[in-house]
Structure 1
Amino acid sequence: MNEQASPFHQTSAEAFLQDFHHVASIGATDRGGVERQAATDADRRTRDWFSEFARSRGWSVEVDGIGNVFATVEFVPGAPAILSGSHLDSQPRGGRFDGAYGVLASLHAAAEIQRRVEAGELAPKYNLIVVDWFNEEGSRFAPSIMGSSVFSGLMDRDEILAVRDSGGTTVREALEGIGYLGAARGPQQLAGYAEVHIEQGRILEREGVALGAVDSSWYTQKLDIEILGEQSHTGATAMADRRDALVGASRVTLLVRDICSEYPAEALVSSVGQITVEPNSPIVVNSRVHLVADLRANDPEIVRGARDALLERFRTVAEEERLEIVAKDFDVRPNRYYPREGVELQERVADSLGLGIRRIQTMAGHDSVALNTVTPSVMMFVPSVDGVSHCERELTRDEDLVNGLAALTRVVSEMLTGALDGVPYPGRPAVAVGA
């Protein structure tokens, strides 16, 4: 850690790391990860910890109608707010850094900023709110980035509350079950949003750079795919008579992967990330498979071209395997561009801290992408070891965590004094996409 650069006393950095590693024990797995899917008991326990951290410092806590939790540090009664945060839910057997780091860093940044304000070292014109967004991961309830998207008006609250998980439980029922379906509207006057997150890639680590200033997000779209065959006996049915939906799903899965090889290296990424098989019996040819395919690229035309090609190839599979394959567009998200002024603010802060920084894109979605549609937003990355994420061996070193905390604290301090006043959002691309 760069001792001269950090705005924290050593004890403050140690307190942050102690809290971070304590929260990582909630829902901990046996291989160093966490499992805290949205609105489970483990998710509740982290939310309870978040709320206690805030209330013990005199901050008010409220929960809105989609389960987002807001902790307000009031500096100027009645003034708009700067939001800072991320999410505490995780993927199944996921990593302990994804999302939770941004929430813990925001809490400790807010505590340090409060100390500075009370000491007369900072005179904010806005209030500060730390937020834990509901169901960013989208593993239990689809789609992802749920709480921040409802808050930002990108998704309808009533429709989202009716979404069911694989066991038939609705979002409303799950949130009521853990005591986190609130009635508050949440903050209505915003002056900006800031989020720090692990990169979930290896660019920063490979280049030896401490921070990444996110300037844009990739175009994303999913396909909801249903493959219908006919249930029959695995031993008694002749091979020629089988209409095996799982065989069709296997071919579809490989098609989704292989489409990437038809484009320049790393221009397109794709996967099948979820699969449901019915009836899923060891002696039955499967009659139905449900898949979710994910396509992402910086250039929307690449995604659209890949999608159209896949639909045509799915038709061929359906004919050859005597199946019905229905693929529907799902969760399409355009490129988003962060305000240039926010990127430049991060660069100034990094320079003042003596930390290296580079501009970077995010291929993954984040809550900041949704928030950037309603308020000027800043997104900052810290390095991920080996670029591994959504995995138990996900790792970011303590030194990098503290560097990101230091930078976030400075960025939010600047935003509280008006650094992004009047900045338009979302930002505009510096050059045409694909140029």
Structure 2
Amino acid sequence: MRDFLSDFAAMSAFGATARGGLDRIAGTTAHRDVRRWLAGILSFEGFEVTTDAAGNMFGLLRVAGDAPFVLFGSHLDSQPKGGRYDGSYGVLAAAHAAIAAAERHREGAGEPRYNIAVVDWFNEEGARFKPSMMGSGVFTGKLDLDTVLHTTDRFGVSVADALDHMGVRGTFALGEVAAYAEIHIEQGRSLEERGITIGVVEATWSAHKYDVLVRGDQSHTGATRMADRRDAVLGAAHLITRVRELCDLFPVEALHTSVGELDAFPNSPVTVAGEVRMLVDLRAPHDATLAEAGEHLRAAIADSAAASNTEIEILSVTTWNSGPFLEKGIAVAEEAAASAGHASVRVLTLAGHDATNVKDIAPTVLVFVPSVEGITHNEAEFTRDDDALAGVEVFTRVVELLAAGALDETP
């Protein structure tokens, strides 16, 4: 029997930062190496390890002949100087749960109806390539494979180049998925505040992400008259302030806004910037709120452009919409928690997860374990060992139930 905490410590060494976090961006050497480490564990445990054309890595365990697969996993890539738990915990928990479920099957504890697969989705974080949740987006048909492969990072390296660097641009196609389940840290405070070990996600917030270009005119920071300047950074500054002020137009916590990515060009100390690229992130529990916020954003763009003598345009918008998770799947997770002796509560997810893509094509379950103080996308991100182990215990039961057909349609 593998020890989860020992494996978690070993996994966390790949891309480790000095402050106990991770810097394991999708498609980098650290990401390649942690995948090879996990592939070694899965292969040792009898899984067939393969990748698809979008770089998603699968560990396949055929325990039910030619039946479809039930799929479990998350992502091993991180934010720059992110935490050890976000995504990575879910992949390793899925692997351990699948190994344990298969062992119980070999010991005669039931006959699975479906084969079992573990997945590491490629570029969930979107820290290097936009949009986020890229691998699951291709898998679910929400993103075009060829467009994704030609997508480049800020240095001009394409997704295809990154996958080739990792040696993981495969040809595998999983086919029909009977069900999907994911376990993740909450990335919020609600479970810890309520003293509850297991959160069962009943719905997700919506998100609209705007890729925005501020266009000014490159010039000299000393020689150019102030009245003649068209400073793209100034235009971006006006807009950033207005993006934050959008929240004040709605009830408290009804809208979350941020500018999480900003690149100035040419980014020289003696040059007024000619262009700024920025990502405006709007999130809310209701699609109508985001539609209204989007109209306010467009007005803010026009005002910011006028105030800074720049041009500002929206280049593209990436969206995922709110919606409920399957009630039957929620009940399965609640049953799994109860059978393991852990209290559970229904929660929302404010963050995006690969499960929010997959739920649109297959019955999907999303389970949370507590995050200490809600800290996430930060090197101080932490989940207590007892909670992490409880999550693996509950998720093992979820794997067993889904492999047995718990989410099948009733005849």
Correspondences of 1:78-93 after superposition (within 5 Å): 78-93=66-81
Letter in 2 for 1:226: L
- What CA deviation, in whole Å up to 9, does each residue of 1:390-430 have, x standing for no partner? 11100001111001101100011011111100179xxxxxx
Deviation at residue 114 of structure 1 after TM alignment: 1.4
Letter in 2 for 1:405: V
The 1:423/1:241 distance shift into structure 2, 3 A limit, reads farther
Letter in 1 for 2:399: V
Q: Is the 8 A contact 1:86 1:99 kept in 2?
A: yes
The number of equivalent residue pairs is: 411
Correspondences of 1:200-211 after superposition (within 5 Å): 200-211=187-198
Match in the other structure for 1:138:
126
Letter in 1 for 2:165: G
Match in the other structure for 1:109:
97
Deviation at residue 328 of structure 1 after TM alignment: 3.8
SS class of match (1:78) = coil
**CA–CA distance in structure 1, aligned partners of residues 170 and 89 of structure 2:** 24
RMSD, matched Cα? 1.2
Match in the other structure for 2:330:
343
Is 1:25 aligned to residue 13 of structure 2? Answer: yes
**CA–CA distance in structure 2, aligned partners of residues 423 and 166 of structure 1:** 49
Task: Specify which of 69, 87, 110 is matched with residue 122 of structure 1.
Answer: 110
Match in the other structure for 1:221:
208
Is 1:190 aligned to residue 171 of structure 2? Answer: no
Deviation at residue 189 of structure 1 after TM alignment: 2.4
Match in the other structure for 1:432:
none
Task: Specify which of 82, 88, 92 is matched with residue 100 of structure 1.
Answer: 88
Match in the other structure for 2:30:
42
Identity value in percent? 43
- What CA deviation, in whole Å up to 9, does each residue of 1:285-331 have, x standing for no partner? 11111110000001111111111112112112212221111124411
Letter in 1 for 2:99: A
Task: Specify which of 134, 146, 153 is matched with residue 165 of structure 1.
Answer: 153
- What CA deviation, in whole Å up to 9, does each residue of 1:82-109 have, x standing for no partner? 1001010011111010000001001111
Q: Is the 8 A contact 1:221 1:329 kept in 2?
A: no
TM-score by length of 2: 0.98
Match in the other structure for 2:243:
256
Runs of 4 or more above 3 Å deviation? none
- Contiguous gaps of at least 5 residues in structure 2: none
SS class of match (1:176) = helix
Match in the other structure for 1:175:
163
Correspondences of 1:294-305 after superposition (within 5 Å): 294-305=281-292
**CA–CA distance in structure 2, aligned partners of residues 114 and 230 of structure 1:** 62
- What CA deviation, in whole Å up to 9, does each residue of 1:180-225 have, x standing for no partner? 111112x112210110000001110111110110011111101111
SS class of match (1:342) = helix
Correspondences of 1:275-290 after superposition (within 5 Å): 275-290=262-277
Match in the other structure for 1:390:
377
Task: Specify which of 390, 394, 404 is matched with residue 407 of structure 1.
Answer: 394
Letter in 2 for 1:115: E
TM-score by length of 1: 0.93
Deviation larger for 305-314 or 380-389? 305-314
- Contiguous gaps of at least 5 residues in structure 1: 1-10, 425-435
Q: Is the 8 A contact 2:235 2:307 kept in 1?
A: no
